[in-house]
Amino acid sequence: MAPNEDAVAGQGLAGPADGRWTRALVGHRSVTPEVEEAIVAVHAESVHRSRISLASKERLIHQ
């Protein structure tokens, strides 16, 4: 067994992914806490409603 194989042996299918082919997670830096709060509020409001269009959701977020 090669030295690298020991490090990844117990990690299942993700074990061989050593980061060379995967991008770093950077997140959405443009989403401010206020915008995130608005998105979460609109989502919570629209979960138990009838279908609502994305345009309507966007309008509610902007309000």
Place of tokens 């919570």: 44
- pLDDT for res 21: 64
Q: What are the tens digits of pLDDT across the range 26-50?
A: 666 778 889 889 999 999 988 888 8
Q: What is the pLDDT of residues 8-31, one digit of tens each?
A: 555 666 665 666 666 666 666 778
Rounded Cα distance, 3 and 18, in Å: 13
